[in-house]
Amino acid sequence: MDTKIIVPPCSPLLDKAETEKASVVHQRSIKGLCSLLLVSTLLVLLFVQQGPRITRNGENDLNLKSLEQAWRWVSKEITLDVSGERVKAYPWTNDMLSWQRTSYHFQPQKNWMNDPNGPLFHMGWYHFFYQYNPNSAVWGNITWGHAVSKDLINWFHLPIAMVPDNWYDIAGVWTGSATILPDGQIIMLYTGKTANLTEVQNLAYPANLSDPLLLEWVKHPGNPVMVPPPGIGFKDFRDPTTAWLGPDGMWRITIGSKINNNGLSLVYKTANFTEFELSDELLHEVPGSGMWECIDFYPVSLASTDGLDTSANGAGVKHVLKASLDQYMQDYYAIGTYDPMSDKWTPDDPKADVGLGLRVDDGQFYASKTFYDQNKKRRIIWAWVGESDSESTDVLKGWASLQAIPRTIVFDKETGTNILQWPVEEVESLRSVSYDFDKLKLGPGSVLPLNIGSATQLDIVATFEIDEEALQSTVEANEDYNCSSSGGASRGVLGPFGILVLADEPLSELTPVYFYISKGTDGIAKTHFCADQSRSSTASDVGKLIYGSDVPVLNGEKLSMRLLVDHSIVESFAQGGRKVITSRVYPTKAINGGAKLFVFNNATGVSVTASVKAWQMISANSVPFPQNGDHL
Report the catalytic residues: 115
The sign of the torsion formed by the CA atoms of 288, 293, 299, 300 equals negative
Beta strand spans in 326-377 (E)? 330-339, 344-347, 358-359, 366-373
CA nearest to 412, candidates 313, 302, 559, 318: 302
Q: Are 424 and 380 in contact (CB under 8 A)?
A: yes
412-445 as b/e: b if 16+ CB within 10 A: beeeebbbbbbbbebbeebeeeebebeebebebb
Task: Name the phi and psi angles at 132, rounded to 5.
Answer: -145, 135
Distance CA 257, CA 226 (A): 13
Query: Pairing relation of β-strands 317-325 and 330-339?
Result: antiparallel
3-class secondary-structure state, position 368: strand
CA nearest to 343, candidates 273, 419, 425, 246: 246
CA nearest to 443, candidates 4, 146, 16: 4
Q: How far apart are the first and last CA of the chain?
A: 47
Q: Are 361 and 338 in contact (CB under 8 A)?
A: no
* β-strand partners of 408: 380, 422
Write the CA distances from 346 to 282, 309, 350, 414, integer angstroms: 11, 20, 8, 21
Q: Are 571 and 405 in contact (CB under 8 A)?
A: yes
Cis peptide before 496 (omega within 30 of 0): yes
Write the CA distances from 184 to 128, 187, 606, integer angstroms: 18, 10, 58
Distance CA 147, CA 126 (A): 8
Task: Name the phi and psi angles at 86, rounded to 5.
Answer: -80, 130
Kind plus residue range of the DSSP H or E element containing 128: strand 125-133
Please name the residues in contact with 153: beta carbons below 8 A apart, sequence gap of 6 or more: 104, 424, 426, 427, 429, 430, 620
Distance CA 588, CA 585 (A): 10
Read off the amino acid at residue 137. A
Write the CA distances from 163 to 2, 141, 205, 224, 623, integer angstroms: 55, 8, 14, 15, 22
Q: Are 200 and 227 in contact (CB under 8 A)?
A: yes
Q: Look at the chain and count its residues.
A: 632
CA nearest to 236, candidates 257, 267, 213, 214: 257
Q: What is the DSSP string of 478-517?
A: -TT--TTTTTTT--BTTB-EEEEEEE-TTSSS-EEEEEEE
Q: Are 168 and 200 in contact (CB under 8 A)?
A: yes
The sign of the torsion formed by the CA atoms of 95, 98, 101, 102 equals negative
Task: Name the phi and psi angles at 79, rounded to 5.
Answer: -140, 175
Distance CA 279, CA 435 (A): 57
